[in-house]
Structure 1
Amino acid sequence: MSTGKQAQEEASAAREMVCETVVLGVSGAVGATEVPQLIVLLRREFCRRVQVVMTRTAELFLTPYAAEVFSGQPVGTSSELPKPNSWQGHIRLAKEASVLLVAPATANMVARLATGLAEDLVSTVTLAATCPKVIAPAMNIRMFENATTQRNLRELREHGFYIIEPVVGIEVATMEVSFGSMPQPREIANFLFNVMAANPGAKDQPEQT
């Protein structure tokens, strides 16, 4: 007779996942506090593995330890420079991604990705990835509507990025209801389902070197 743990593992294995690995990049916005819920949802319904990589400022909102607890995987951070051939190496992470998601994506991160800057582990992995790439911008409405930010988003779309539009939420700095918040985890997961449906050839296994 199966134990409770064995039954749980068998049920998990029986679930048909959409893809193998989501590489989840986290940058420094309040929306990072919702990342644990997103990780759990993705692991339950979308993919077999969530690999988290973080910027330094993201660590102010979500500790690497917490991200590791929820993902069940070691977390890549920008605080320490990884060895090229370690599991944290940006090329290895990029090759393993079935889909890459940056959530939340600050105005600074959007600008880095649009201009091809690789100044942290998140932007470096994103630059190297060839899988479908999705970003969820999260910032003050004035920053989001700024002409430079809108230009950056247009450029990302032109380069094949999928953009999850921000939603109305509470801006913590002012406690006002405002546009610019990261969508709820369920909305993000639904968006990812649609992205993968539009990319049936997206890899489910790591690239071979």
Structure 2
Amino acid sequence: MKLVIFDMDGVLVDSETIYHQFHPYYFSTKLGIDLSQEEVDALTGVASREIYRHYKALYPEKLPLEAEVYVEQEYDLLMVKFATLNPFPVIDGIPELLEILQQQGYRIALSSSNQRRMVDLCLRRSGLSTYFENVLSGEDVAKAKPDPEIFVRQAEYFGVPVEECFVIEDSTNGCRAAKAAGMPCFGFINPHSGAQDLSLADWKTDRWDQESISTLLQVLAGEQVISSITL
């Protein structure tokens, strides 16, 4: 493998808890729509514009304006929330993992369904921005995950065949997008990401400790890893 592509929310930053609390609050108090837990879980890894287009089609009377209006309203509030988080919730082991990958010469990219302004804020506050050679947000692609565009675009940018790219994801939609792109996928099991189906992931872990990082490095080097799940 030559290129490692990370998702952001739930993989680099432990932010899904905030979204899982904020989406129901915003939908209920601002739009008059009560979301079930299953609906909240299904939003993980989906671009905001797609979320609001979906619910606008279901409840046109409650969302009379263009979907983008609601995206911006919610994000204005979210940006304030994320700007004041202290400490900023970086996933344990991620700085060490990124440092090792960079030292070993892997190209590293970020493909997030989130808004560009939120991606930039999270990278800046987490101190991780220097590790990523190219960053794509949900606003940089026409189709959101589970469509593979956001991963295929990275392969094209780096001039790397899709089979030599490797994706790290925490969501059902992210894993679907990776496999649709023809890329192997390492699933990060984050309990704060809700009930995500990571069955399409080729390997899985619920922590970035020495053992799981070693397993990932073996996989990237093309070595045979007996167990498909590392926990």
TM-score, normalising length: structure 1: 0.41
**Which one scores higher on RCO, CA 8 angstroms, separation ≥ 6?**
2
TM-score, normalising length: structure 2: 0.38
More strand by share: 1
